[in-house]
C-alpha cells in the first residue's frame, strides 16, 4: 500500500496507546507502547501504521522516507495550558521578584496580569498576532504540535474579542493546532476594582454571549482563575455554570496559591481539566482521582516564581487520577515555550519517570483539551503529528535539559522546517 511518509529504524518508537479510549490513569501512567527498531507510516495526514520496521515496510511504500536510527520517535507534544497570546513583557517584574518582591505584592502595586492587560489593550490585532507567532514558532520547534491558548489579557468585551481575532489569525496561518479557551475571568480589571461581582455580571451577561456569537468564535472551553487575588469560589461557580449552560466545556485554574475548593467544583461540574493544583487538599485529590477531570500540572510556574511547592503528582496517581503536563506559557509567572523543559522539571520536582512525563505531555494532555482521540498517540487513525528526538532512548528525555532534543517535527504528515 502507498503512504506519503515513512519514518523507520527508530531506536525506540513510542506509540503511547490510549487506555480504554482515554488517558493513562494512576499507576498505569507511563505505558509507551515501545517498539525497538520501530517505524511509523502516514497517509493523508494520518497515521496508517506503527510497529516494527520490517513489518511496516513490508506493507507500506512511501514517497518520502526518513531514517531515525539511533533516535526516539514519539507523538508531538500537546501543550494543554498556555496564555501564549499577549503583548509586551514583564521583565521588570522578574527583576523585582529576584530581589524579593512576591507575585501578589507586584499585583497589588498595579503590575501583574493588569500590566499585560494594558499592553494588550494598546496593541493592534496584527501586533498581538505577530508577537505571539514568534512564540508559537519556538513552541513548534521544541515539539509542541497542539497548543491550548487562553484569552484573559483583554478583560473588556472589545479586547477579549480582539484576542479572539488574533487567535483566529494564528489558527488559520500557523501549522500548530490551536485550542482556544475563553478566560475573561482571569483578573478583575482596574475599572471594576471595587466591584468584582459587577465584573462577573459583565462576563456572564455580556462577554460570554458576545464571544460565542462572533462568526470566528471557535471557543470550546471556558476557564476561571479561582484563587486568592483573583476570583472566589462563588464567582467561579457563576461563570462556569453560565458557560456550561451555553454548551462550553469547562476548565479551572485552582490551588496555585491558596486552596479555595476549586477542584471539588470542577469535579461537580464535570470540567475537562483542573490546572495548577499545587496546594490541593487530600480530600479533593481523592475526588479528582475518581472523576474524569484531568489534572494538569504546570511545574514551570512554581519554578518561574522560585517557589518550593509543586503539584503532588504521586498523590494524584495514587488516587487513580489522569495527570497531564503543560507549560502555562505567560509573561508573568512562566515564559516557557518548551515542553521538554517542563518534562525535565516534572521528573525532578514531581518525581515522574521520563516515560510517565512523556505520556503526560502527549496523550494525557490531549485528553485535557478534548483531543484524546485525535492527537497525542501514534496509533493508526491519529493525526500524523510526530517528533524525531535526537536522543538514544526515552530515558534521556528530562535527563538532558536546557537544549532542544527535537530534530524533526512532522505536523499532519508534513515535514516542518522549524524556525526558532
Q: Which of 159, 242, 164, 143 is nearest to 200 (CA)?
A: 242
Contact residues for 266 (Cβ-Cβ < 8 A; gap 6+): 250, 251, 252, 254, 273, 274, 288, 293
Among 145, 330, 408, 412, the residue binding ligand NIG under the rule CB under 6 A is 330
* Biggest alpha carbon–alpha carbon distance for the chain: 69
Residue 113's binding partner among ligand NIG, Fe ion, none (Cβ under 5 to 8 angstroms by kind) is ligand NIG
**DSSP output for 259-328:** --SHHHHHHHTT-SEEEE-SS--HHHHHHHHTSSPEEEE-THHHHHTT-S----HHHHHHTT-BEEE---
Q: How far is CA 76 from CA 70, 72, 262, in A?
A: 19, 12, 30
Taking the complex as a whole, the smallest distance from the CB of residue 86 to ligand NIG amounts, in Å, to 7
Yes or no: say if 149 and 179 are a contact pair by the CB < 8 Å rule. Answer: yes
Residue 332's binding partner among Fe ion, ligand NIG, none (Cβ under 5 to 8 angstroms by kind) is ligand NIG
Contact residues for 399 (Cβ-Cβ < 8 A; gap 6+): 344, 347, 354
Among 112, 189, 302, 405, the residue binding ligand NIG under the rule CB under 6 A is 112
**By rule CB under 5 A, what count of residues binds Fe ion?**
1
Contact residues for 330 (Cβ-Cβ < 8 A; gap 6+): 82, 83, 84, 86, 116
Please, which residue, 40 or 263, has the CB nearer to Fe ion?
263
Task: Tell whether residue 77 is a contact of ligand NIG (CB under 6 A).
Answer: no
Q: How far apart are CA 194 and CA 87, in angstroms?
A: 26
Yes or no: say if 220 and 250 are a contact pair by the CB < 8 Å rule. Answer: no
Q: Segment near ligand NIG (CB under 6 A), from 46-54, 63-71, 111-119, 365-373?
A: 111-119
Please, which residue, 328 or 383, has the CB nearer to Fe ion?
328
Half-sphere exposure of 36 (CA within 13 A, CB side): 2
Task: Tell whether residue 182 is a contact of ligand NIG (CB under 6 A).
Answer: no
Among 18, 53, 71, 116, the residue binding ligand NIG under the rule CB under 6 A is 116
Q: Segment near Fe ion (CB under 5 A), from 90-98, 108-116, 322-330, 360-368?
A: 322-330
Task: Tell whether residue 311 is a contact of ligand NIG (CB under 6 A).
Answer: no
Task: Tell whether residue 328 is a contact of Fe ion (CB under 5 A).
Answer: yes
Task: Tell whether residue 225 is a contact of ligand NIG (CB under 6 A).
Answer: yes
Q: Which of residues 284-303 bind ligand NIG (CB under 6 A)?
A: 301
Q: Segment near ligand NIG (CB under 6 A), from 62-70, 202-210, 329-337, 401-409?
A: 329-337
Q: Segment near ligand NIG (CB under 6 A), from 192-200, 201-209, 239-247, 331-339?
A: 331-339
What is the 3-state secondary structure of 150-163? ECCCCCCHHHHHHH
Please, which residue, 108 or 415, has the CB nearer to ligand NIG?
108
Please, which residue, 57 or 97, has the CB nearer to Fe ion?
97
Among 29, 32, 49, 113, the residue binding ligand NIG under the rule CB under 6 A is 113
Please, which residue, 33 or 332, has the CB nearer to ligand NIG?
332
Yes or no: say if 380 and 50 are a contact pair by the CB < 8 Å rule. Answer: yes
Q: Which residue is nearest to ligand NIG (CB)?
A: 332
Task: Tell whether residue 331 is a contact of ligand NIG (CB under 6 A).
Answer: yes
β-pair type (273-276, 249-254) = parallel
Residue 75's binding partner among ligand NIG, Fe ion, none (Cβ under 5 to 8 angstroms by kind) is none
Yes or no: say if 40 and 52 are a contact pair by the CB < 8 Å rule. Answer: no
Q: How far apart are CA 327 and CA 323, in angstroms?
A: 14
Q: Which of residues 227-266 bind ligand NIG (CB under 6 A)?
A: 253, 256
Among 76, 332, 405, 413, the residue binding ligand NIG under the rule CB under 6 A is 332
Q: Please report, to the nearest 10 degrees, the dihedral formed by the alpha carbons of residues 303, 309, 314, 316 taken in order.
A: -100
Residue 301's binding partner among Fe ion, ligand NIG, none (Cβ under 5 to 8 angstroms by kind) is ligand NIG
Applying CB under 6 A, which residues contact ligand NIG? 83, 112-113, 116, 225, 253, 256, 301, 328, 330-333
Contact residues for Fe ion (CB under 5 A)? Answer: 328
Amino acid at each position: 500500500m502507498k503512504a506519503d511518509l515513512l519514518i523507520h529504524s527508530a531506536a525506540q518508537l513510542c506509540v503511547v496507546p490510549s487506555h480504554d479510549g482515554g488517558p493513562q490513569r494512576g499507576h498505569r501512567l507511563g505505558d509507551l507502547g515501545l517498539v525497538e527498531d520501530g517505524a511509523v507510516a502516514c497517509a493523508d495526514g494520518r497515521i496508517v501504521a506503527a510497529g516494527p520496521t520490517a513489518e511496516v515496510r513490508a506493507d507500506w511504500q512511501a514517497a518520502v522516507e526518513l531514517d531515525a536510527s539511533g533516535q526516539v520517535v514519539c507523538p508531538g507534544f500537546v501543550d494543554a495550558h498556555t496564555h501564549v497570546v499577549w503583548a509586551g513583557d514583564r521583565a521588570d517584574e522578574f527583576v523585582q521578584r529576584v530581589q524579593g518582591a512576591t507575585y501578589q505584592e507586584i499585583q497589588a502595586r498595579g503590575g501583574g496580569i493588569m500590566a499585560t492587560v494594558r499592553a494588550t489593550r494598546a496593541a493592534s490585532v496584527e501586533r498581538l498576532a505577530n508577537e505571539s507567532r514568534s512564540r508559537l514558532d519556538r513552541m513548534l520547534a521544541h515539539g509542541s504540535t497542539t497548543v491550548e491558548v487562553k484569552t484573559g489579557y483583554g478583560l473588556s468585551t472589545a479586547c477579549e474579542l480582539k484576542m479572539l481575532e488574533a487567535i483566529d489569525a494564528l489558527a488559520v496561518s500557523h501549522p500548530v493546532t490551536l485550542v482556544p479557551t475563553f478566560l475573561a475571568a482571569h483578573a478583575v480589571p482596574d475599572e471594576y476594582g471595587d466591584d468584582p461581582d459587577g465584573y462577573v455580571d459583565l462576563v456572564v451577561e455580556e462577554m460570554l454571549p458576545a464571544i460565542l456569537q462572533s462568526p470566528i468564535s471557535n471557543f470550546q472551553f471556558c476557564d476561571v482563575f479561582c484563587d486568592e487575588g483573583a476570583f472566589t469560589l462563588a464567582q467561579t461557580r457563576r461563570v462556569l455554570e453560565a458557560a456550561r449552560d451555553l454548551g462550553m466545556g469547562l476548565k479551572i485554574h485552582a490551588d496555585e496559591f491558596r486552596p479555595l475548593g476549586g477542584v471539588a467544583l470542577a469535579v461537580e461540574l464535570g470540567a475537562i481539566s483542573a490546572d495548577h493544583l499545587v496546594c490541593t487538599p487530600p480530600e479533593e485529590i481523592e475526588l479528582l482521582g475518581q472523576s474524569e477531570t484531568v489534572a494538569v500540572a504546570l511545574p514551570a510556574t512554581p519554578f518561574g516564581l522560585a517557589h518550593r511547592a509543586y503539584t503532588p503528582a504521586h498523590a494524584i496517581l495514587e488516587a487513580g487520577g489522569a495527570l497531564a503536563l503543560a507549560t502555562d506559557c505567560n509573561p508573568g509567572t512562566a515564559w516557557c515555550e518548551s515542553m521538554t523543559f517542563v518534562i525535565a522539571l516534572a521528573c525532578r520536582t514531581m518525581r515522574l519517570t521520563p516515560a510517565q512525563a512523556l505520556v503526560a505531555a502527549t496523550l494525557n494532555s490531549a485528553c485535557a483539551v478534548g483531543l484524546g482521540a485525535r492527537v497525542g498517540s501514534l496509533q493508526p487513525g491519529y493525526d500524523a503529528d510526530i517528533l524525531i528526538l535526537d536522543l538514544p532512548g526515552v530515558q534521556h528525555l528530562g535527563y538532558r535539559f536546557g537544549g532542544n532534543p527535537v530534530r524533526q517535527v512532522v505536523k499532519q504528515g508534513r515535514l516542518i522546517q522549524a524556525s526558532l
